[in-house]
Chain A
Amino acid sequence: MDLPVIEPSPPAAAGCSAGSCGSTARQMDALSDAVRARVQDHPCYSEDAHHYFARMHVAVAPACNIQCHYCNRKYDCANESRPGVVSEVLTPDQAVRKTLAVAATIPQMSVLGIAGPGDPLANPERTFETFRQLALKAPDIKLCVATNGLVLPDYVEELARYNIDHVTITINCVDPAIGARIYPWIFWKNRRVFGHEAAAILIAQQQKGLEMLTARGILVKVNSVLIPGVNDAHLPEVSRIVKAKGAFLHNVMPLIAEAEHGTFYGVMGQRSPQPAELKALQDACAGDMNMMRHCRQCRADAVGLLGEDRGAEFTLDKIEAMEIDYEAAMVVRAELRAQIAAELAEKRARAHAPAAATTPQVIRIQPHVAKSAPPVGRPVLMAVAAKNGLVAVHFGHAREFLVYEASADGARLVGHRKAESYCAGDESCGDAEAVLAATIRALADCEVVLCSRIGFEPWGQLEAAGIQPNGEYAMQAIEEAVMAVWNEMLAAGKLAVGQIAAKRA
């Protein structure tokens, strides 16, 4: 276990005393021990957990009571991965069967969420019937829900009754003038309400719901969609306010807007933010609030680890054919959880060990001393082809890269980039060049890419783009590998403060 970090500044800003301290320790240090224990196996609430634990969403909630300009209720595509998209809507009985099938097949599956494709609380019968059955049949699965908040105050009691310990509210603004540019209408007290009036009602309900949940001790994460030119300058204020009301984690996500999605923003040409804009905003909010950086904006029927989707293995016809012995599965699941908890505890102990062997050059004794000391070496962004917290994926097989910022303060997860795996080993390799070019563009602000292996061709192209490939840390822990590379760069004199990498100039 950790010693508490004693520091008068806001907890989210608290550093770790060891230079090797990773983002996970940093994120989790901001939480009390009690909260940490409640989120340690929840992949959407704990950055640490997301390397190990899987989640699933069951799409039992098709109805919605508001319209958001980034959503189109007609859209349903198996190849799209974003909120609000599903392949099939389930009845509560089907959802329960699917949950048990997934939990028995994927023992890492720790969390069942209802997140749509509409609003779970606009479908109260289907949502709560699903929770009611699962609380009885699968007591080892955490239940959570994500809502737009419009009718949240009416359901706080019922959420507490089913032991729903985690609730996510999407709060994009606290100012109705901004809200009117995000929400064209809401359905409220038997009529459709438009514009400023609609946004004012929605905002008031969200804030009331947030206060009611935190008053009951239910953990609340706030999601915000970053919409450039609409709410970007406003989100730091949102972050301050929701933190003051007791939200424990803020997740700022980039707008997804393409004309072919048929959304207002997509069709009207509203742009999505660049990764650097998202990171800058998350950093701006981080002084006040514990920020989430590992969100993958998954579908309302996603299954598996964050960043992967195994939904196709659990279609209705496939789960019908499965034999499920849930009693036996629970034993396996408990063993696996204990094993992962032990691994995490060991990792945390390592991360907090003073003068860790991986970073001999940078040893900080006190966080407040560390802040006033001159920085040693500039920060570097590195992309990692990762699995289970390790540098474990072949460059050509990576579907996504985690992006870490390495600096004298340690390695910190700052985001992820989606990629297509271009090396599928079959005829789909025909598009390899275009896919590789797209991947290199997505990683343009990174100076290093860490992977378990990489082919000759992409190696050369990455180098030409100013991104140094590195396969020397295969199967090593991400944060240790990232810091080892950063320290090599430091020792080689590549990180003089003020020196800008050539590619960024």
Chain B
Amino acid sequence: MALEIIESCVNCWACEPLCPQQAIQAATPHFLIDADKCTECSGDFSEAQCASICPIEGAIINELGEALNPPGSLTGIPPARWAAAQAEIAGR
């Protein structure tokens, strides 16, 4: 079992020092988790540390491809509201 950082990562470094397995590497275009090292913090912490500080919804996913921080969970912006705002901006 391992987590994965995907392209919406903004390279903010917040997760890197927290990883108990040193599984996170700075890389371009975005940070990466070494799947061989990642334990999802099992045995170290009750919650995966990278996903507990990551400010970007959807940037960290599990092996099922599910976002640990789904849309709206961190910003408090309801996804429908977000979509409406983006549509409004695009229509200007």
Binding site for B on A (CB under 8 A): 62-65, 67, 69, 73-74, 89, 118, 122-123, 125, 184-185, 187, 190-192, 259-260, 264, 266-268
Contacts and interface: CB of A to CB of B under 8 A. Distances in A.
Nearest to A260: B89
A192 B53 contact: yes
Contacts of B46: 191
Contacts of B47: 190-192
Contacts of A73: 10, 12, 55-56
B56 A62 contact: no
A69 B55 CA distance: 12
B83 to A, nearest CB: 10
A267 B77 contact: yes
Given A63-B53, A184-B76, A192-B47, 18 more contacts: A62-B14, A63-B13, A64-B12, A73-B10, A73-B12, A74-B10, A118-B12, A184-B74, A185-B74, A190-B45, A190-B47, A190-B52, A191-B47, A191-B52, A259-B88, A260-B89, A267-B85, A268-B81
B11 A89 contact: yes
Contacts of B75: 67, 184, 264
B52 A187 contact: yes
Nearest to B92: A260
B53 A65 contact: yes
A62 B77 contact: no
B49 interface: yes
Given A259-B85, A264-B77, A267-B82, A123 B13 contact: yes
Contacts of B8: 74
Could you say which interface size class chain B belongs to? 20 to 34
Given A118-B14, A264-B75, A268-B81, A67 B55 contact: yes
Interface string B53-87: 10110000000000000000011110001100100
Nearest to A125: B17
25 contacts: A63-B13, A63-B14, A64-B12, A67-B75, A69-B76, A73-B55, A73-B56, A89-B11, A122-B14, A184-B74, A184-B75, A184-B76, A187-B14, A187-B53, A190-B18, A190-B47, A190-B49, A191-B45, A259-B85, A259-B88, A259-B89, A267-B81, A267-B85, A268-B77, A268-B81
B11 A64 contact: no
A267 B14 CA distance: 25
A467 to B, nearest CB: 30
B53 A67 contact: no
B51 to A, nearest CB: 8
Given A184-B74, A185-B74, A62 B11 contact: yes
A118 B11 CA distance: 11
Contacts of B18: 190
Contacts of A264: 75-77
Contacts of A191: 45-47, 52
A63 B12 CA distance: 5
Given A184-B76, A191-B52, A62 B81 contact: no
B45 to A, nearest CB: 5
Nearest to A71: B55
B69 to A, nearest CB: 9
Nearest to A126: B13
Contacts of B11: 62, 89
Contacts of A69: 76
Interface string B1-30: 000000010111110011000000000000
Q: Which 6 A-B pairs have the closest CB atoms?
A: A63-B14, A62-B12, A187-B53, A73-B55, A192-B52, A267-B85
B2 to A, nearest CB: 19
A64 B74 CA distance: 13
A190 B46 CA distance: 9
Nearest to A62: B12
Query: Which residue, B14, B52, B82, B85, has most C-beta atoms of chain A within 10 A?
Result: B14
Contacts of B82: 267
A490 B30 CA distance: 63
Contacts of A123: 13
A304 to B, nearest CB: 26
A146 B68 CA distance: 31
Contacts of B77: 264, 267-268
A123 B14 CA distance: 8
A428 B88 CA distance: 27
